[in-house]
Amino acid sequence: MRVLLNPLDGMNLLSQKEVQQLQKSSSSHLYKLFRKCALAVLNVGNPIDNDYEVYERYKDFEINLLSRERGIKIELLNPPESAFVDGKIIVGIQEHLQAVIRDILFNANKYHDLDLDDSQQITNAVFDILRNANVVMPTDFPNMIVCWGGHSIKDEEYQYTKEVGYQLGLRGLNICTGCGPGAMKGPMKGAALAHAKQRINDGRYLGLTEPSIIAAEAPNPIVNQLVILPDIEKRLEAFVRVAHAIIIFPGGAGTAEELLYLLGIMLNPNNKEQVLPIVLTGPKSSIPYFEKIAEFVEITLGKEARNLLNIMPDDSVSVAQFLKEKMYDVREQRRNVGDAYQYNWSLKITNDFQKSFEPNHKNMAELNLNTNQDTVSLAANLRRVFSGIVAGNIKDQGVQAVKEKGPFVLDGDGELMAHMDELLQAFVSQGRMKLPGSVYTPCYKILKN
The arrangement of secondary structure in 120-337, i.e. its CATH architecture, is 3-Layer(aba) Sandwich (3.40)
- How far, in Å, CA of 380 to CA of 62, rounded? 38
Buried-state track 89-106, b at ≥16 Cβ within 10 A, e below 16: beebbbbbbbbbbbbbbb
- Give the other-Cβ count within 10 Å of 303's Cβ: 9
Supply the DSSP symbol for 111.
Answer: S
pLDDT digits (tens, 9 = 90+) for 212-223: 888 778 899 899
Give the model's pLDDT for residue 274. 97
Residue 49 pLDDT exceeds 60: no
Q: Write down the CATH superfamily of domain 2-110.
A: MoCo carrier protein-like (3.30.1850.10)
The mean pLDDT of the chain is 91
pLDDT digits (tens, 9 = 90+) for 369-389: 999 999 999 999 999 999 999
C-alpha of 44 from chain center: 16
pTM over 0.75: yes
Residue 254 pLDDT exceeds 80: yes
- How far, in Å, CA of 82 to CA of 64, rounded? 19
CATH 3.40.50.450 maps onto the chain at 120-337
The dihedral sign for the CA sequence 222, 226, 228, 231: negative
Residue 162 pLDDT exceeds 80: yes
* CA proximity to 157, closest of 145, 169, 146, 165: 165
- How far, in Å, CA of 54 to CA of 48, rounded? 7
- Give the other-Cβ count within 10 Å of 5's Cβ: 17
Is the CB of residue 213 less than 8 Å from the CB of residue 394?
yes
- How far, in Å, CA of 340 to CA of 346, rounded? 9
CATH 3.30.1850.10 maps onto the chain at 2-110
